[in-house]
Amino acid sequence: MTTRVGSTSPPESSPDTPPLPPSDRVTGSHRRVRPSGPGQWTALAGRAIRSMMRNGELLLAVIAPVVFGLSFYLPLKFVMQMRGLDYAQFLMPIIVLQSMAFAAITAAQIAAQESSSGFTARLQTMPVLSAVPLAARMSGRFVRAVVSLIAALGFGYAIGFRFSAGLGQAVLFCAMALAIALVLCLGADALGTLSGSPEATAQALTLPQLILGMLSCGFVPVEGFPEWIQPFVRNQPISQFSIAMRDMAEGGVTWPVLLPSVLWLAGLAVGCAAIAVWANSRRG
């Protein structure tokens, strides 16, 4: 059988050749792309972790809790001992919480860098599932938070901190610390994505976390503050987190003590997650 030159009819297929399934048919000259969420997440999360290893961020995650802890433990140790307070046991929750806050600040900086460099906009033009970039960044932040938590607990054990309420309470302590870190990182990521300025974002986050940390019962008991500010100190989230985590480490936390922390964490999680999803779904 001959085929006329210039004919536009498709060539006849052999009767022995099975037809291609719809998913394997070729559109034009390119095979149809089917995004793989797990594969994309693996690639972007691996990129985030390798970046932390290259730029020394994981080393900083180890050093920061130690430096922060020493700067408060050494000057206040003997003063608190005179008041009959085991300061290593008392101080440990705020060291962990501040370490988690530092992880959030770096989350904001990384999100701002990716936004300002155009990397975020580039991903939006590619067949990348919309939730993957945020999930990958949060995976990197989680790894950093775990490293920082281990370093903080190691420092705490060096100065005399102990989990005396049992394994279950110790696991709850660590789980709460990491949950707080993820919630803070979600909010910080949204702020960094929206601002696009790593420097401005870091400055905007550092001051509030320092003020709330100093005006909490993480460093000194509530009774050490002027009476007029004690209600704020007692009821703000960092104080509630510190009180609950202190009980987890020693004696075991009860539900009435834990409930305010759970409510604060749930409220922050809903707000930060909503803002983070909205910020990462915007197209510049």
Name the band, by pLDDT with cuts 50, 70 and 90, for residue 4. Answer: very low
Sign of CA dihedral 150, 151, 153, 158: positive
167 neighbors 239 (Cβ within 8 angstroms): no
Q: Could you give the CA distance from residue 236 to residue 222 in angstroms, rounded to a whole number? A: 12
pLDDT of residue 25: 47
Cβ burial of 264 (10 Å; 0-12, 13-18, 19+) is buried
> pTM higher than 0.95 for the full model?
no
Helix/strand/coil for 30: strand
What's the pLDDT tens digit per position in 125-167? Answer: 888 888 899 999 999 999 999 999 999 999 999 999 999 999 9
Mean predicted lDDT score pLDDT of the chain? 87
* Average pLDDT estimate for 196-206: 84
Helix/strand/coil for 24: helix
**Rounded (5°) CA angle 126-279-45:** 55
Alpha carbon of 120 to those of 45, 55, 138, 180: distances in Å? Answer: 14, 20, 15, 25
Name the band, by pLDDT with cuts 50, 70 and 90, for residue 20. Answer: very low
Q: Could you give the CA distance from residue 130 to residue 281 in angstroms, rounded to a whole number? A: 7
Q: Which of 223, 216, 221 is nearest to 241 (CA)?
A: 216
Name the band, by pLDDT with cuts 50, 70 and 90, for residue 181. Answer: very high
pLDDT of residue 15: 47
